[in-house]
């Protein structure tokens, strides 16, 4: 079972995009669209203050008919962020995401943001791990 640190190292694009709490929702949505991502971490003076996702936009701006031009990220972000550490396992992360209906997990080491895991990252890892196991078992069965 791989650790979060190992999964982060294997990511081809490890950049973590962020906004501040006073950023407008429109600017955040534009950044997500430009980068092809579904969530941004919210940093306040370099510290994790929250996370905002496309889901937050849909539920807290579009459905409530708020203005994306004037609403601030602090008004729609999730402030009570569930995080993981570099030593946590992929299985632990998958369990958290499943139980809490999450799609993104910020990774903190000693209080500092070092990465962001998506459900896609974990699914890719799980598929690769299972393919490797299948290959090993097939080789064992063939006596190789």
pLDDT tens, residue by residue, 69-82:
889 999 999 999 99
Q: In the chain, where are the structural domains located?
A: 4-142
For residue 84, with 0-12 CB atoms within 10 Å meaning exposed, 13-18 middle and 19 or more buried, which class applies?
Answer: buried
**pTM recorded for the entire structure:** 0.85
pLDDT of residue 37: 93
**Res. 12 pLDDT band, cuts 50 70 90:** confident
Report the C-alpha dihedral over residues 8, 11, 12, 15, rounded to 10 degrees: -50
Tell me the average pLDDT of the chain. Answer: 92
* Residue-wise pLDDT tens digits, 17-72: 999 999 999 999 999 999 999 999 999 999 999 999 999 998 888 777 778 888 99
Neighbouring CB atoms inside 10 A of 25's CB total: 25
CB 102 within 8 A of CB 96: yes
What does the angle CA 137 – CA 5 – CA 33 come to, to the nearest 5 degrees?
Answer: 105
Name the CATH code of domain 4-142 (choices 1.10.10.10, 3.40.50.880, 3.10.580.10, 3.10.290.10): 3.10.580.10
pLDDT of residue 118: 93
Q: Determine the average pLDDT of the residues in 94-102.
A: 95
Neighbouring CB atoms inside 10 A of 131's CB total: 10
CB 120 within 8 A of CB 113: no
**Res. 125 pLDDT band, cuts 50 70 90:** confident
């Amino acid at each position: 079972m791989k650790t979060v640190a190992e999964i982060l190292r294997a990511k081809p694009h490890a950049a973590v995009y962020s906004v501040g709490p006073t950023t407008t929702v429109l600017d955040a949505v534009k950044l997500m669209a430009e980068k092809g991502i579904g969530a941004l971490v919210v940093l306040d003076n370099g510290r994790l203050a929250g996370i905002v996702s496309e889901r937050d936009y849909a539920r807290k701006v579009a459905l409530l008919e708020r203005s994306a031009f004037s609403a601030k990220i602090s008004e729609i972000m999730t402030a009570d962020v569930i995080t993981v550490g570099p030593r946590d396992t992929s299985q632990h992360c998958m369990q958290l995401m499943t139980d809490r209906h999450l799609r993104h997990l910020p990774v903190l080491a000693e209080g500092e943001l070092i990465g962001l895991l998506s459900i896609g990252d974990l699914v890719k890892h799980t598929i690769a791990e299972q393919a490797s196991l299948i290959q090993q078992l097939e080789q064992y069965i063939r006596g190789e």
